[in-house]
Chain A
Amino acid sequence: MDLDTGPKVMGDDGQFHATDEAVDLSHTTIEAWAALGLFWLLGLTVFYQFFTRYVLNDSAAWTEEIARYLLIGTVFVGATIGVAKNNHIQVDLLYRYLPPAAARALATLVDLLRVAFCGAMTVLTVQMMQKMGSYKMTIVDLPMNIVYGVCGLGFAMMTLRSLWVMRVHLRRGYSALERPESTMEDR
């Protein structure tokens, strides 16, 4: 909201009349929609558990386990949103004291390290899935590799997104570390 334009929030009748900003969903990435899908499934699962426990007095045992796995999926797929927006929590204090050239070099190193980390985690998840092969969930008769596979997909998407973020940074010549007020939309 812009503070200087727009009507008074508290009108002359002595009541508050704030309004919401318009919603724009057009910049939502495909991983974000996927994570949202997992989150809504999670919501339905826990609500079903709540309903069976308090209204039917008999809570369904599978819901707790499935809910935990859906949360894991939501987190590892949802973490790609932060990678794509480059807004995972980071410390940019050092960059205020570095000369521009050194800052640019260090920020590029950070981009490279991020790509390397996400790539390594993707490979390690695949390795783990090979070791875990036939391992089953505790209550529900499904392979654990479904859960690990979703996490692996999340890491793979993070690798691609961090590559894309690095390319944007190289092209425009600065990253959010050097200019904390910038977003990925700025070119």
Chain B
Amino acid sequence: MLKLVFLLLMATGLPVAIAMAGSSLLYIVFSGSLPPFAVVHRMIGGIDSFPLLAVPFFILAGNLMNNAGITNRIYNFALALVGWLKGGLGHVNVVGSVIFAGMSGTAIADAAGLGTIEIKAMKDHGYELEFAVGVTAASATLGPIIPPSLPFVIYAMMANVSVGALFLSGILPGLLMALLMMLTVAYFAHKNGWGGDIEFTLGRFGKAILELAIVAAWPLALWGLVQHGGLPAQPVVFGGLVVLFAADRFFGFQAVLPIMTPVLLIGGMTTGLFTPTEGAIAACVWAMVLGLFWYRTLSWKMFTKVCLDTVETTATVMFIVAAASIFGWMLTATGVTAAIAAWVLGVTQQAWVFLLLANLLMLFVGCFLEPTAAITILVPILLPIARQLGVDPVHFGLVMVLNLMIGLLHPPMGMVLFVLARVAKLSVERTTVAILPWLVPLLVSLVILTYIPSISLWLPRISGMVN
């Protein structure tokens, strides 16, 4: 009854959050089991959680980094690194997205902001618009797989697992996906006989490698000084920062400081130095220092705009989470989830069959629903079954988010598809066809990641976050 009302309301086009909270409210009023204001109490209680504080700050950090001053630096860095390969700007597109995925947690914002720049550059350089749109769409899915990730925070809250473990589980799969995408770019380049987009010069390539080395060495050096040198932490970190910024001014690094963001974030969370929420705040402070004071490419007016966008996205996402907490609670209390679990377990007792069916279901749901909404509906239904069949909840989270990201790329509800169609001024039909070949590397990685859980679970295991 509850589910029927909800599906009916959602089909009419009522906002998903209102459909969830509204159907719960109707059910409570008609069953008379609880005072109706319990709905409000439960909604507010649903977002009253410390881990969820990470949501607005990861959104803000991504938005702050997504301004021209920083994006130019990151693209120039990626260009120096891989722009000379055959199909150069296609590779730059993927590498740029990997770096950005380490700062931002959403796919749609990445597609809108970076996508515009990427597509414009590729078009200017004579690439077909279809190829540019396809590679941009595919690489946008990396945003929420490589940490930080908004969908992972929501999943972690719904599934009651550690955000840190989920973040770590996304690193290797993200790199695997990027590799498969670069192979696809190489295939297109080979087929069409494309060359590189810049000359290979040892100086330029060497400088990019050197910057990469500095990004890796600086945190390791600080860690070594504190851990093995026995020096006090605060002065070392402060001194290290002064040295780093002085070196940046003196040598004029291209992208050392922006690329440091993901390294600090992931490193800090792996070693247990930061909680994800603190990591999110640190990333925001870092981005503000770079944009407002160091590179001075972010005006205060722009900063206000970025904050307003952040508030809007946060409210939209968290309003769904609030509504889902009353809806999920009602689903469990009325025995709907138990009934679905019993039915599925009656069909199969095999984990691999369940994963296959779950993948198909999640791909299907992902075509119609935005990821946050889909996660809040799917987790209470699917996760109990997954647990019963011995599927690790962290692994299941990664598979779920990847499915939902792929759903963003195709009709009828693919938000990334719509955004890119608007940016490139292509029809939705042509954009769909343009993205089609890029579903191959994505679906291949989905199969690999679904059936080889150790790729996602290896990093969380060695850092002791998952048994």
Which segment of B50-58, B140-148, B212-220 sits at the interface?
B50-58
Do B121 and A124 have beta carbons less than 8 Å apart? no
Verify if B304 is at the interface (C-beta below 8 Å from A): yes
Do A124 and B119 have beta carbons less than 8 Å apart? no
Give the Cβ gap from A120 to chain B, nearest Cβ, in Å.
7
Total A-B pairs, Cβ < 8 A: 217
Contact with A along B265-280 (1 / 0, CB 8 A): 0000000000001100
Segment 1-40 of A: residues with Cβ below 8 Å from B: 1, 3, 8-10, 14-20, 23, 25, 28, 32, 35-36, 39-40
4 A-B pairs closest in CB distance = A78-B315, A88-B15, A128-B37, A16-B75
Q: In the bound complex, how far is the Cα of B44 from the Cα of A113, in angstroms?
A: 21
Q: Which residues of the partner chain B approach A121 to less than 8 Å between Cβ atoms?
A: 21, 39-40
Q: In the bound complex, how far is the Cα of B326 from the Cα of A168, in angstroms?
A: 31
Verify if B176 is at the interface (C-beta below 8 Å from A): no
Verify if A71 is at the interface (C-beta below 8 Å from B): yes
Contact of B18 among A16, A28, A94, A114 (CB under 8 A): A114
Do A36 and B311 have beta carbons less than 8 Å apart? yes
Do B315 and A82 have beta carbons less than 8 Å apart? yes
Do A91 and B124 have beta carbons less than 8 Å apart? no
Which segment of B151-159, B317-325, B355-363 sits at the interface?
B317-325
Q: Which residue of B lies closest to A175 (CB)?
A: B13
A72 and B47 contact, Cβ closer than 8 Å, known pairs A8-B124, A20-B68, A39-B56: yes
Do B22 and A113 have beta carbons less than 8 Å apart? yes
A114 and B14 contact, Cβ closer than 8 Å, known pairs A16-B121, A23-B301, A82-B312: yes
Verify if B72 is at the interface (C-beta below 8 Å from A): yes
Segment 308-337 of B: residues with Cβ below 8 Å from A: 308, 310-312, 314-316, 318-320, 322
Do A75 and B322 have beta carbons less than 8 Å apart? yes
Q: Which residues of the partner chain A approach B322 to less than 8 Å between Cβ atoms?
A: 75
Q: Which residues of the partner chain A approach B47 to less than 8 Å between Cβ atoms?
A: 71-72, 75
Q: In the bound complex, how far is the Cα of B284 from the Cα of A42, in angstroms?
A: 13
Q: In the bound complex, how far is the Cα of B307 from the Cα of A35, in angstroms?
A: 10
* Number of residues of chain A lying within 8 A (CB) of chain B: 71
Q: In the bound complex, how far is the Cα of B198 from the Cα of A10, in angstroms?
A: 11
30 pairs across A/B with beta carbons < 8 Å?
A: A1-B120, A9-B124, A10-B125, A14-B198, A16-B72, A16-B75, A18-B117, A40-B307, A46-B53, A50-B282, A54-B234, A67-B50, A67-B53, A72-B48, A75-B322, A76-B315, A76-B319, A79-B316, A79-B319, A82-B312, A82-B315, A88-B18, A89-B15, A93-B368, A113-B14, A113-B22, A114-B14, A117-B21, A128-B40, A151-B40
Most B CB contacts (10 A, CB to CB) among A89, A121, A128 go to A89
Do B315 and A91 have beta carbons less than 8 Å apart? no
Q: Which residues of the partner chain A approach B119 to less than 8 Å between Cβ atoms?
A: 3
Verify if A159 is at the interface (C-beta below 8 Å from B): no
Give the Cβ gap from B184 to chain A, nearest Cβ, in Å.
22
Segment 7-62 of B: residues with Cβ below 8 Å from A: 9-18, 21-22, 25, 35-37, 39-41, 44, 47-50, 52-53, 56-57, 60
Verify if B412 is at the interface (C-beta below 8 Å from A): yes
Give the Cβ gap from B321 to chain A, nearest Cβ, in Å.
9
Give the Cβ gap from A21 to chain B, nearest Cβ, in Å.
9
Q: Which residues of the partner chain A approach B124 to less than 8 Å between Cβ atoms?
A: 8-10
Verify if A131 is at the interface (C-beta below 8 Å from B): yes
Q: In the bound complex, how far is the Cα of B372 from the Cα of A78, in angstroms?
A: 17
Given contacts A54-B234, A78-B312, A94-B11, 9 further A-B contacts (CB under 8 A): A1-B116, A3-B425, A10-B124, A23-B299, A43-B57, A50-B278, A67-B53, A91-B10, A93-B11
Q: Which residues of the partner chain A approach B368 to less than 8 Å between Cβ atoms?
A: 91, 93
Do B315 and A20 have beta carbons less than 8 Å apart? no
Give the Cβ gap from A109 to chain B, nearest Cβ, in Å.
7
Q: In the bound complex, how far is the Cα of B304 from the Cα of A39, in angstroms?
A: 11
Do A78 and B311 have beta carbons less than 8 Å apart? yes
Verify if A95 is at the interface (C-beta below 8 Å from B): yes
Give the Cβ gap from B444 to chain A, nearest Cβ, in Å.
28
Contact of B36 among A50, A76, A124 (CB under 8 A): A124
Do B315 and A75 have beta carbons less than 8 Å apart? yes
Q: Which residues of the partner chain A approach B18 to less than 8 Å between Cβ atoms?
A: 88, 113-114, 117
